[in-house]
Amino acid sequence: MKRYLVEPGKKFKLSERNPEDTGDFEGGKKEGLKAIVELNEKLQTLQELLYAEGRHKVLVVLQAMDTGGKDGVIRRVFDGVNPQGVKVAGFKVPTAEELAHDFLWRVHKVTPGNGEIVIFNRSHYEDVLVVRVHNYVPEAVWSKRYEQINEFEKILAENGTTILKFFLHISKDEQKERLQARLDDPTKHWKFSLGDLEERKLWDDYQAAYEEALKKTSTVHAPWYVVPANRKWYRDLVISRVLVETLEGMKMKYPEPREPLDGVVVE
Ligand code: ATP
Ligand code: MG
């Protein structure tokens, strides 16, 4: 899955990443969905181990343009995990109280504790994306945030948090189709907002803001993956693989029993 990394310190152009890519996976959608089910079973086991062991913390950051598929990833990739050990934190327009603090205040307090996986549905990156595109704060303020984010994520990493950041990369045409599908289906109207059409007009500004954010904040301790996301099955496959490989790499073990259990009989 290394091919989807944004390599720290290397040149990076978002426009050179193909949202349609299906890598060297030859099976197509049908085989892809099967592979996802297998990975999901592994993920469930690994997550239970993570929870039982209680040593590692895992932070998964999801960012995307509207309709990019953050909700779908949360639903499908994390299907069947133990809700006691996996939480989702969503970041909406900041409240007055949140705006009265620094931009990381609301973020830090929902980061994972030992044994937990926390999924960020949007994140502190909004503060260098939507905020930059709309000039909600002056450039002098947002331009300092890349470094602040790197330092913040370094603190988390050095205190036992594994950070994985995924940008779900869709094309502008794909977004059009997905917005239209939401309009056409009354059960999806709740997901539609006229504001999404206004944001769509700013597509190029957002792509530029994403490109800079991904380039400046992909670090060894908190790398970005640009996930080809036009095909939902491939998007889910890539993220599932990265998660499973990362958790397997932690070499976790179930904790030893609290007391010796040899010869213990349940009467
Ligand atoms: P989503 O679009 O993520 O699926 P949603 O449609 O349920 O979620 P929205 O209210 O559309 O909810 O999404 C949250 C909105 O909050 C987004 O438009 C996002 O850009 C905005 N937002 C998030 N963080 C910030 C921030 N720090 N400053 C300004 N706006 C923000
Ligand atoms: Mg929305």
Domains and their CATH numbers in the chain: 2-248 (3.40.50.300)
Q: What are the tens digits of pLDDT across the range 107-157?
A: 999 999 999 999 999 999 999 999 999 999 999 999 999 999 999 999 999
Closest Cα to atom 30 of ligand 1: 93
Residue 25 scores a pLDDT above 90: no
Tell me the best of 62, 71, 92, 179 to mutate to test the pocket of ligand 1, counting ligand atoms within 8 Å of each CB and taking the most: 92
Rounded CA-CA distance 125/153 in Å is 12
Mean pLDDT of 77-104: 97
Pocket around ligand 1 at a 6 A CB cut-off: 66, 70-71, 91-94, 122, 126-127, 130-131, 193
Ligand having the closest approach to the CA of 70: 1
The atom number, within ligand 1, closest to the CA of 130 reads 20
Number of alpha helices (DSSP H) and beta strands (DSSP E) in the chain: 11, 5
Residue 233 scores a pLDDT above 90: yes
Give me the sheet containing 117-121, strands edge to edge.
86-90, 117-121, 57-64, 161-169, 224-228
Residue 99 scores a pLDDT above 90: yes
Residue 240 scores a pLDDT above 90: yes
Question: With a threshold of 0.95, does the pTM exceed it?
Answer: yes
Tell me the best of 88, 93, 203 to mutate to test the pocket of ligand 1, counting ligand atoms within 8 Å of each CB and taking the most: 93
Rounded CA-CA distance 37/122 in Å is 25
